[in-house]
Copies of this chain bind each other. A is one copy, B any other.
Amino acid sequence: MLQSELFTRTSKTLPKDERSKSAQLLIRAGFIDKLASGVYTFLPLGFLVLNKLEKLISDEMERVSGQRVIMPALIPKDNWQETKRWDNFDALFKLKEENVEYGLGATHEEVVVPLVKKYVSSYKDLPFSVFQIQNKFRNEKRAKSGILRTREFLMKDLYSFHATEKDLDSYYEKVKGSYLKIFRDLGISKDTYFTLASGGTFSGLSHEFQTITEAGEDEIFICNKCKVAVNSDVASKRVKCFKCGKVLKEVKKSIEVGNIFKLGDKYSKAFGLEFVDSKGEKRNVLMGTYGIGLPRLIGAVVEVLSDENGIVWPDLISPFSYHLIQIENKVKKEALKIYRTLQKLNLEVIYDDRIDKSPGEKFTDCDLIGVSTRIVVSKKTLAKNSVELKLRREKKKRLVKIKDLSRVLTK
């Protein structure tokens, strides 16, 4: 797209009410806008990132055979009462109308379990899994840190249904693998730890994926040897690595970017979700649940990958693949021609065609926005029939002949 047509703009001023680096950068660069505490609009650039992340996660979920649905946010009080969460889920937003009461979807066990019950009767109907990427609502009292903790956010939640513990265990490992791949694809796996945490139903334990950042609200004990961690909420005097058994002493602040839980029969019991096993006996379905909050994950990526000049997007969720900059208005004709060429190749490109900005301002904006690859067209590069290519994450620049550009970018 043409940058001159983008209705948003970058800003030099630090937003006063945001403390985390990710919120400051995302707001200044024009990815998000704060409507109220814990409530944000995704602006055009932010939408593109969110949309790419949604696609990346959705593809992974389909790879583990997740069937995609969309469940509503208006969940009747009755459903929450079945699981006793109407009174026990602190962050539940309650909507009380004359004729009806809803709890706004903070999680969706209360919808998916009664839904699935309509279709499951025999072990032959199992296993399967269902996921959605849909807005969650939570009344976070301490909504701070920008999109790292919000009251409304896009979440991927996957629910799996099994006849046996063995099957649940093996699926759980599969999803763990998917999550690790997602964090690897986003370039944050070095800083992301598979973490033992409290909260599971089987054993009182669950697993989280925690990304180390100063903006995080959690604390984890790290095992550098095994590259795993233990959440400080797993109360114990001496915290030991659950892999090598070593006593852990190094503590880091971190943010939970994903979690996987074995729910066992907790919710299937509450709703009477049963099946007849191969011996003809009735049993409760076993469940797993697996979540990723998309805005938070984007925030974590920005926390980890940004530098002093701005955001450094990983290729897969960069709002565009290329940021094409025309340095002088005199090279407009050539720059526009390159823009059209890239468009014809179906490459995603934002073209800084603004005529009222200095080269310095353009470079500053480009670094702040953080598109993964920059292409510069100037009188200097044109003198060599070339453009200048630079990856956002590297300092190195290189000249590429214009006649070779298509080949270089699509190879």
Q: Considering the chains assembled together, what is the distance between the CA atoms of A46 and B7 in angstroms? A: 34
Which residues of A from 26 to 82 have beta carbons under 8 Å from B? 33, 35-37, 39-44, 46-47, 50, 65, 67-76, 79
The reply to whether the CB of A118 lies closer than 8 angstroms to some CB of chain B is: yes
Identify the closest chain B residue to A43 (Cβ): B69
Chain B residues, Cβ within 8 Å of A43? 69
Residues from chain B with a CB closer than 8 A to the CB of A118 are 33
**A151 contacts B74, CB within 8 Å?**
yes
With A65-B5, A68-B47 known as contacts, the answer to whether A137 contacts B41 (CB < 8 A) is: no
A36 vs B74: C-alpha distance when bound (angstroms): 9
**Nearest 4 A-B pairs (CB), nearest first?**
A42-B70, A44-B67, A7-B128, A39-B72
Using a CB-CB cutoff of 8 Å, which residues 109-135 of chain A contact chain B? Answer: 111, 115-116, 118-120, 125, 128, 130, 135
Tell whether A40 pairs with B72 under 8 Å between CB atoms, given A7-B130, A9-B119, A93-B95. yes
Cα–Cα, bound, A137→B125 (Å)? 35
- Which residues of chain B come closer than 8 Å to A47, judged between CB atoms? 68-70
Contact A5 B128 (CB under 8 A): yes
Q: Whole-angstrom distance between the alpha carbons of A68 and B8 in the complex?
A: 12
| A139 close to B (CB within 8 Å) | yes
Which residues in B have their C-beta under 8 angstroms from that of A115?
33, 35, 41
Name the B residues within 8 Å of A42 (CB-CB).
Answer: 69-70
Give residues in A with beta carbon < 8 Å to B.
5-9, 33, 35-37, 39-44, 46-47, 50, 65, 67-76, 79, 93, 95-97, 99-100, 104, 111, 115-116, 118-120, 125, 128, 130, 135, 137, 139, 141, 151-152, 154
Give the CA-CA distance A240 to B151 in the complex, in Å. Answer: 50
Kindly list chain B residues whose C-beta atoms are within 8 Å of the C-beta of A137: 73-74
How many copies, total?
Answer: 2
Across the two chains, which residue of chain B brings its CB closest to A11? Answer: B118
Residues of B within 8 A of A46 (CB): 69-70
How far is it, in angstroms, between the C-alpha of A141 and the C-alpha of B100 when the chains are bound?
11
What would be 18 A-B contacts, judged by CB atoms less than 8 Å apart?
A7-B119, A7-B120, A7-B125, A9-B119, A35-B74, A35-B79, A35-B111, A36-B100, A37-B100, A40-B72, A42-B69, A44-B68, A44-B69, A47-B68, A74-B152, A96-B96, A97-B139, A99-B141
A41-B111, A43-B69 known; A76 vs B7 contact (CB < 8 Å) = no
Given contacts A9-B119, A119-B7, contact A72 B128 (CB under 8 A): no
| Distance to closest chain B CB from A121 (angstroms) | 11
> Are B95 and A35 neighbours in the complex by a CB distance under 8 Å?
no
Tell me how far the C-beta of A391 lies from the nearest C-beta in chain B, rounded to whole angstroms. 27
A135 to B73, CA, bound (A): 9
**Is there an interface contact between A67 and B135, defined as CB atoms closer than 8 Å?**
no
- Check A73 against B33 for contact (C-beta < 8 Å): no
Name the B residues within 8 Å of A69 (CB-CB): 41-44, 46-47
Residues of B within 8 A of A95 (CB): 93, 95, 104
B152–A8 touching, CB < 8 Å: no
